[in-house]
Each structure stands twice: as structure tokens, then as C-alpha cells.
Structure 1
Amino acid sequence: MTTVLAVANQKGGVAKTTTVASLGAALVALGNKVLVVDLDPQGCLTFSLGHNPDRLEASVHEVLTGDLAAKDAVIPTEDGVDLLPATIDLAGAEALLLMRPGREFALKRALASLLDDYDTVIIDCPPSLGVLTLNGLTASQSVLVPLQCETLAHRGVGQLLRTVREVQQITNPDLVLLGALPTLYDARTTHSRDVLSDVSDRYDLPVLSPPIPRTVRFAEATASGATVLAGRKNKGAQAYRDLADNLAKHWAGSELVTFSTGSVE
């Protein structure tokens, strides 16, 4: 059975797109066939995987509006994941969807014909709680929340969790909240641990292992049009490999590995 995972946080700059791209590549390395879906009109995931959104003739916009079958918009990437890309046209799709009945189910309907072709589908939701994010959550079985380990990082987390609960009540009762993924983590400071502890306690939110460290390798990888896994060994790539292993075992039936923020080194 295909696993569909949404990666969502309406706050920008939390390494959401980096998480989708790197986790996807790490799962490919484990032998999974992976599709990543760019739901952000800025097309950051598309760009980070080596494709120029301004030069694409087909994207998820045409898929959501019903003008194109999803399989006809999917393109390969050098990292081994398949990509359903985004262009700036996607900004207009949100307005079009708002006028349609069942608008929250557009992506789920579009992906249905692709699920047999992939082991895992990862959806990069935009940094908002609009109809595109609702489509991502409605189409998914589980949701992961990247959380920047800095002051005020938890602003908006409560609103996102309320949105998840509403989706569970209305459009997707089977949606599971996996928990928060610590990103931009600096093990040298107590500040990162304090932020995670606060979020964990305040929202009773599981914190996934391992934390994703802050490293310049992520920016370098994005600029090169490939994920951090494509370069030489580094701690960021290893963290995503460990996360992929954790999630793959969980989806196979094992307990999800989390950690106590007070014991993180």
C-alpha cells in the first residue's frame, strides 16, 4: 500500500522543502519508488530538484484544474525521485478551486491513478493554511511538521494543529499526525532543546528522531539543483537517512522513534 505523507507548516523558513527533497532521496536510497509533489506556487521544491519552474509546460496547476492527467505532468530528477512540479500558475489554481464543489479533494482524486506506481508520495504543502494545504492534508495518510529550533518557532503551530483536527473531522478522518521534526538544530546550545521542550509540552506533540542539524550543505545543495544526499558525506545527509529509516520501519509496523528533548545531545 502506498504511503502518502504531507509535510506542512504555514511558517516559512523551517526547512520544509529541504525535508521533502532530502527525505524523498533518502527513501529512494532504501529502495523505495518515490513521488514528491510541489504544492507551493513559488516552486521551491521544483527548483531545488534541478528544474526551472519558468520553463515547464505542465505542472500540478493543470492537474488540479482537471486539464491534465497527473501522470502527464510527472518528471524525473537526478536524485531518483519523480516530481509533480509547480509553477507560478499554481497561485491561480487556488482561486479556481475555491469556486468548485469538493475542492479539498482535487489532489486526492488526481493522485489516485498514480498510487500503484509508487511506494511513497511526499507532498510539500505551501507556507499557508489555504485550499492548497487542505488538499495536501486531505490526500495524505499522515502529516509531518518541520519545526525550526529557534525562539517563536512555535507561533502558528497551534493553528496548524487545529487545521489538522478539522481535516480529520471533515475531509480525512484517517489522517495521522506523526509529530514535529526538529530542523536547523544546533546541538551546541540549550536553546534548541528548550524550544522543542516547550512545543512538546504545550501541544503534547511527539518529537521525531533524529533532529536535523543546521548546516551550510543544505543551501549549497539547493543552489546546485540536487539534494544534500547527492554530495559528499555530511551530518545533514546522514540525519535524513536516519529519518528515512525511522519512517520506513514505522510504516512497516514498527514503533516510531521519538526522543525526549531533555536528553538530546
Structure 2
Amino acid sequence: MVSLMSSPANSSDREKVVSKLPGWLRQNLKIRAAQHGIEIQAAVEQGITDWCHLASSLSQVDTAGSSSFSTFLPHGQWEEFTRTASDRRVSLAQGLAQSVQLWLDTNPAPEIERSSITRRIIVCNQKGGVGKTAITAGLGEALAEDPNALHAVRVAKALAKALRASEVHEEHDGQEADPLDVENLPGLGQRVLLVDFDPQCHLTNQLGASPLPMNGDSLTNHMAGDAKGDLRDLIVSIDDEAFAGRLHLLPACNDAFLLDVRLSAVRAREAALERALAPLEDDYDVIVVDCPPSLGLSMDAAAYYGRRRDGEAPGQSGALIVVQAEDSSADAYDLLTTQIDDLRADLQVDIDYLGIVVNLYDSRRGYIATSSLQGWVDIKDPRVVGLIGDLKEQKEAVRVKKPLLSYAPKSQQAIGMRALAREVS
């Protein structure tokens, strides 16, 4: 039986109604409403209004397995709906299912926004061991996630809250984040290329791919003007249904240890990475480069690749700096920003800072960690755009060579990676 129950609602002009809806239709409604950025109750209200105004009923919707469904509607709308359902000789559950399906049919999933200029995100720091590779992978995965599914995301207000050491300490004590700080949002659905630009091949290995052989073709060869084939032939897909062919990897090769030496003989060497990757750009919305812990010519080429191009809005491309809450990261940060600032001045280009990610954070390490975190927050420009805890899920994902966001999609680190992707989008 379907019933009408009146109860106090959030607004005085609405009443609570309880009916039934099949689980698959409820899920489609939840996802589509989130995609359009509206409340579920607004979608149901519009669907019922449109259904009541139709000249006749629609095709039957399979309502097998329906369960209780409640929402808030304007006063009087449910009475009009029940009269219309009676006139059409359909049950209230069938009428509601038809109304929801009608709204879904008239409000298709929005198209993914594609930038006319492929965004280039350069993940960098001169210091090794800060977790650049984990951030590169997590960011790329979050950008590529399924836009027709909902994923847990830490909302912006929660980042500011998490920047307080006490909040992070609670998370590390094993407590769950406040559910009010987490929102279920559709994936971003971007086409993403991850570029392993580090001769140590960490990104390649973490994602379960094989480093390129020394006697074959590589990104290094293309940058040095000694290509042995099409760079596209080296790209591998990160096969996981969460990314549905949208996430690709350009593996590394150990020959990148010789890149700076080979670039020294190349004309306009700062543009070498751009020349190599430019033919691939039309295939992707975002290219994320995992840089080596180096201040050599290869870092110059990476920073130049992330410069702001003609017609590109500020903050679309640039450098994302990964640090830890300890003193040596601060020293490395100063060296890196000095190099980028010198490159800006020497070549007269704009290289934007997309922000700072404080990675592997654990407030239980005491004053050095908490005071260092405060030091990063105090910088303001670039601002802290991500705070990722030192938790076991990332290490486990690396051990089994799986993407973090498919291995542990509900983990605090995954939730933080999705927030980071939205902060830099």
C-alpha cells in the first residue's frame, strides 16, 4: 500500500510524502539530480508536475522490488497527483515511477565540459620521498572517475576544518570523518594521461605497468629528437571500470637518467617536453606529469610545459607542489620556486602555481608536523589545496599495484584525492 504522510518539513510550504520506488530508479534519480546540481525533491516535483500535465499515461515502468521512498512536495501537489493516477487507472507507485522516469528522460546527463586547450598539471618538488607519485596517480584517477556514478568527496569547508591539527588527529585515531563534511558527487569524467617523467619509474610500477626497455623507444628519445616510432604506441590504458578507458599512462624508462645530458645538445631544450607531448594533446582533457626530484634541465622542460598558453585562463595549467610537514620539504620548496621564478623571468612566460599538497600528514608526530603544516597554510599564495593523511590504504594499493580510488574508493585518502581534483579543476 502507498500512503501519504504529512509531517513538518524543512519549509512551511512543503509536506512529506511516502511512496515506493524501485532501487535502480532511485539510484538513477540520485545521480542525475547530482549531475544537474539540484535537490532530489525538486526533480520529483518537476517530474510529477509534467506527468500530471500529459494528455495520457506513459509506458509502464518495471516497479518490481520497490521499497519505501519519501520526499517533500508543495502542499496540494500529491492530491493532484493521486487524482490524476486514479483517472488514468494506474497505481500511485506506478505513477510516481513514470514521473521520475519522465524527469530523467527530459533531463539527460549533461555533457562533460571539455577545455579547448588541454590542461597540463606538473606535479613536482625537488625533494624525493614526499609522495609526488601517489598524488599524481590519485589526482589523475579522481579526474577520470565515472561521471554516471556518485563518489564520496570531501567538501571545500572540510579542507579548512581538516587543516586544524586536532581534526586530522581524530582521523588518525581511526574515527570516521564527519558525514556532513563528505558529499556524494558525480565523477569528473575527464580523459587523462599520466606521464611518468621520473627515471625511477615509480608511477609506472605502482599502476601495474612495465617500464619501457632501454633499447626501445621512450619519451626521452622523443624529447632528444631521436624518436623510434609514434609516442602513442607506448601509452597503456589503466583498465578499471571506474575509469572506463579515460585513464592512460605513458610509462617511464630508465634512460631518463640520461635526459639532462641529452637535452644539453638540443636546441630550445626548455620546449622539448612540449614538442614530444603536443601530438597527444587532442586525445586528452588533462595531462598530469610526475616529475623527477631534480632541478636540472628536465625540470625546466616540465615547468615550461606547464606555462600558461595564449588564450588559456590563469590557473588552468601549472605547477602542483607536493610537500610534507617537515623542515626539509620547506628547503626543497624554496629551491623549486626559485627555479620556476627564474624560468619565468628568463623566458618571459607565466607559470602558475596551482597550489600546495601537504602529503603523508600525521599530527601524532607532534610539534614539528603541526607547526610545519601551519607554515604551509600561512604561505597563502600558493595556497594549500590538499591535505592527505599518512594512512595504510595508499601503501596497500601500491603493494597490489592497483589504483587507490578503485582499491579503496571510500578511504579518507580517496575522498581527499577527489577534493584535490576539484580544487585544481
TM-score range, shorter chain: 0.7 to 0.9
- The corresponding residue for 1:36 is 194
The alignment's TM-score, normalised by the length of structure 2, stands at 0.55
CA contact (8 A) 1:64 1:106 kept: yes
Q: Is the deviation greater in 55-64 or in 104-113?
A: 55-64
Q: Could you tell me which residue of structure 2 aligns to residue 174 of structure 1?
A: 350
Matches within 5 A, 1:69-218: 69-79=230-240, 80=243, 81-140=247-306, 141-171=317-347, 173-187=349-363, 189=366, 191-201=368-378, 205-218=381-394
Shift of 1:169: 2.0
C-alpha distance in 2 between matches for 1:74 and 1:170: 33
Deviation of 1:204 (Å): 5.4
Q: What percentage of residue pairs aligned between the two structures are identical? A: 33
**CA deviation map 1:94-141 (0-9, x unaligned):** 211111221111111111111111110011110011111111111113
Cα pair 1:69 1:110 within 8 Å, conserved: no
Q: Distance in 2 between matches of 1:207 and 1:44?
A: 27
Q: CA deviation at 1:172?
A: 6.4
CA 1:8–1:187 in 2, change beyond 3 Å: closer, same or farther?
same
Where do 1:220-235 residues align within 5 Å? Answer: 220-232=396-408, 233-235=410-412
SS class of match (2:399): helix
Structure 2 counterparts to residues 229-244 of structure 1, below 5 A = 229-232=405-408, 233-244=410-421
With a CA cutoff of 8 Å and minimum separation of 6, indicate the structure with the bigger relative contact order. 1
* One-letter amino acid matched to 1:114: L
Distance 1:235 1:190, change over 3 A: farther
Q: Number of paired residues?
A: 247
Counterpart for residue 123 of structure 2: 7
TM-score normalised over the length of structure 1: 0.86
Task: Provide closer, same or farther for how the CA distance between residues 12 and 33 of structure 1 changes in structure 2, counting only shifts above 3 A.
Answer: same
Kindly report the root-mean-square deviation, in angstroms, between the aligned alpha carbons of the 2 structures: 2.0
Matching residue of 1:253: none
**SS in structure 1 opposite 2:416?**
helix
Matched, 1:18 2:195: no
SS in 1 for 2:358: strand
Pick the structure with greater CA Rg: 2
Kindly provide the amino acid, as one letter, of the partner of residue 145 in structure 1.
Answer: I
Residue type of the alignment partner of 1:143: A
Rounded to whole Å, the distance in 1 between the matches of 2:236 and 2:319 is: 24
CA distance in 2, matches of 1:151, 1:221: 28
Higher deviation after alignment, 101-110 or 19-28? 101-110
**CA distance 1:166–1:70, change in 2 (3 Å):** farther
Q: CA deviation at 1:73?
A: 2.1
Unaligned runs of 5+ in 2: 1-116, 146-187, 307-316
Contact 1:49 1:78 in 2 (8 A): no
Following the alignment from structure 2 to structure 1, what is the Cα–Cα distance between the partners of residues 381 and 369? 16
CA contact (8 A) 1:41 1:86 kept: yes
Q: Is the 8 A contact 1:7 1:122 kept in 2?
A: yes
- Establish whether residue 65 from structure 1 lines up as the match of residue 224 from structure 2: yes
CA 40–210 in structure 1, closer or farther in 2 if over 3 Å, else same: closer
Q: Distance in 2 between matches of 1:27 and 1:198?
A: 28
